[in-house]
Amino acid sequence: MSYTIFRTFQLHPFLLYPTSILKLQNRFFHSTTIKATQSQQTQTQTKHSTSTQSKKLNNLPKDYEPIIGIETHVQLSTNTKAFCNCPYNYGSFPNTSICPVCMGLPGALPVLNSKVIEFAVKLGLALNCELAFDSKFDRKQYFYPDLPKGYQISQFDVPIASSGFLDVDIPLEYGGGHKRFGITRVHMEEDAGKLLHTENGNYSQVDLNRAGVPLLEIVSEPDMRNGIEAAEYAAELQRLVRYLGVSNGNMQEGSLRCDVNVSVRPIGQSKFGTKVEVKNLNSFASMSRAIDFEIARQVQLHSQGQADQIVQETRSWEEGSQRTITMRKKEGLADYRYFPEPDLPSVILYQEYVDGIKNSLPELPEGKRRRYEKMGLGMQDVLFLANDKNIAEFFDATLAKGADAKLVANWIMSDIAGFMKNEKLTINDIKLTPEELAELIASIKDGTISGKIGKEILFELLAEGGSVKEIIEKKDLVQITDPVEIEKMVDKAIADNPKQVEQYRGGKTKLQGFFAGQVMKASKGKANPGLLNKILLEKLNS
């Protein structure tokens, strides 16, 4: 067997950098490799709404309970890899960021990147975990083409953090409410490389750029009961690592990868059902749909008396067909043959070190949401503003200039969010500053300009920047609040439209808007709306 396996590795003679070629000449590798055609299928599939999948679940027998847990791998944003000085840049040319350590060459020894420990402690504290002040690394033995050492450096029985929890707010469209999900453990480990599959599927190239990149694996308690809860848990983890600055959390780059464990059991049964792991989840929507499909599949087998056909295995989610398919049988702990990593010392934490990191933690998403609620904002506002760290910072900076929280939230969630979506920009890309947004809101509130003029100024500020006061002065946009001047414009609008006056007085009162529009047009939008409508009604009804 060893000859059959190792003879399939060849060094490509025509490449500038060493790239292993794995020829698929035997069934051993066919059974353990996902070909590129699957990712190509993903790009051409249709999207199905979560609500459609949920309707399917509603039709299932109600005497089964789903049990869901998630293993999340977070790729850390360190400058170098976990155990060597190689940098990692997503998308770089294959095998251009490797060395004897991450290639697993004989005699190469790992040296731990201290930033990995700092990030692990940060995340452990943010997840309300208990920290292990004396933890260690272990070797997790398994063979795979992109794991050149034949083992992964990880943590087994003494993870750096354990017994925590994560609080999540469920969006209103999914029922709302607060949920707390337990965290079993957080441990440090290294990533493997990846396989680059050819279009025809004849062979795969091994890219080791990612080998040795530091990861934190977060294992949840089996506390989730449907796809929505699981997806919201994962989305909250993404928010958390971004707030902490330990990872960019981009699922499309593999910086945040979720493997979901799903089982079902009859209501009232304490023993868990057979656990199935689902991989290849590239978005939170895919995760929700995959879980709901897998629940439906397992419930159907239970209800048909075929529960024995549910086996412990790893399944892949196919976005195109909207189903899970078997990848491989799931390994057990005994298969990994864990033992302490002999080339790395124990990780010893000191209280001073932990306290320093704890005091440096930023306000986290959960804290922001509770603070925003106390300002009187609705849950929809709260979830939108706290979802993105940069938007939350922009919001807070505007409030610091004295603006009203509800007004700021309205502007950000409507016109500013619409502009960013249309222009495909982030809050950091727009030219509008928090100071100028506060000034704009104040100018509308004190009557200097109208709301309509305010919107015109806003879009100029978003696209080109500048000062609210300068734009108002330059374009002579100060609101007209002189009753005499407004009355003259109202009289002219009434005199110019006798037919509409007759219709209004005959009962078509909606024509008030027509006259208001005429005055606004004459004033170039500068007439005070409240004063205009008051005078207009007096004149029309006299």
Q: How far is CA 403 from the centre of its chain?
A: 29
pLDDT of residue 44: 37
Buried b (16+ CB within 10 A) or exposed e, 194-204: bbebeeeeebb
pLDDT of residue 477: 82
Q: Report the run of H or E that residue 477 belongs to, with start and end.
A: none
pLDDT of residue 199: 83
What is the per-residue DSSP string for 375-387?
Answer: TT--HHHHHHHHH
Instruction: Tell me the two tokens of residue 69.
Output: 């847990």
Closest CA to 525 of 513, 535, 517: 517
Closest CA to 189 of 148, 143, 139, 146: 139
Convert the pLDDT of each residue in 61-70 to its tens digit. 578 999 999 9
pLDDT of residue 238: 98
CA dist 261 and 291 (Å) reads 9
pLDDT of residue 161: 98
- For every one of its 542 residues, what pLDDT tens digit does the chain have, with 9 covering 90 and above? 333 333 333 333 333 333 333 443 333 333 323 333 333 333 333 334 444 444 454 555 578 999 999 999 999 999 999 999 999 999 899 999 999 999 999 999 999 999 999 999 999 999 999 999 999 999 999 888 899 899 999 999 999 999 999 999 999 888 889 999 999 999 999 999 999 988 887 888 999 999 999 999 999 999 999 999 999 999 999 999 999 999 999 999 999 999 999 999 999 899 999 999 999 898 999 999 999 999 999 999 998 999 989 999 999 999 999 999 998 876 666 688 999 999 999 999 999 999 999 999 999 999 999 999 999 999 999 999 999 999 999 999 999 999 999 999 999 999 999 999 999 999 999 999 999 999 999 999 988 888 888 999 999 999 999 999 999 988 888 878 778 888 888 889 989 998 988 888 888 888 888 988 998 888 888 788 888 888 889 888 87
CA dist 291 and 280 (Å) reads 12
Q: Which long-range contacts (CB under 8 A, 24 or more apart) does 455-463 make?
A: 455/415, 456/525, 458/411, 458/415, 458/416, 458/432, 459/415, 459/419, 461/431, 461/432, 461/436, 461/437, 462/416, 462/419, 462/430, 462/431, 462/432, 463/419, 463/431
Number of Cβ within 10 Å of residue 312's Cβ equals 14
User: In which residue are the tokens 């037919």 written?
Assistant: 499
- pTM across the whole model: 0.81
CA dist 61 and 52 (Å) reads 17
Convert the pLDDT of each residue in 469-516 to its tens digit. 999 988 888 878 778 888 888 889 989 998 988 888 888 888 888 988
Spell out the residues 6+ positions from residue 256 whose beta carbon is closer than 8 angstroms to its own. 72, 73, 74, 75, 234, 237, 238, 241, 247, 249, 250
Closest CA to 153 of 115, 116, 201, 195: 116
Task: Write the CA distances from 536 to 110, 196, 502, integer angstroms.
Answer: 81, 72, 15
Domains of the chain, residue spans: 2-348, 363-475, 483-541
For residue 168, the cross-strand partners are 179
Main-chain dihedrals φ then ψ at residue 290, nearest 5 degrees? -65, -45
pLDDT of residue 58: 53
Main-chain dihedrals φ then ψ at residue 264, nearest 5 degrees? -130, 155
Judged by DSSP in three states, 255 sits in: coil
pLDDT of residue 403: 96
pLDDT of residue 6: 32
Q: How many CA atoms lie within 13 A of 76 on its CB side?
A: 29
pLDDT of residue 447: 84
What is the per-residue DSSP string for 92-112?
Answer: PPTTSS--TTTTT-TT-----
Assigned CATH class of 483-541: mainly alpha
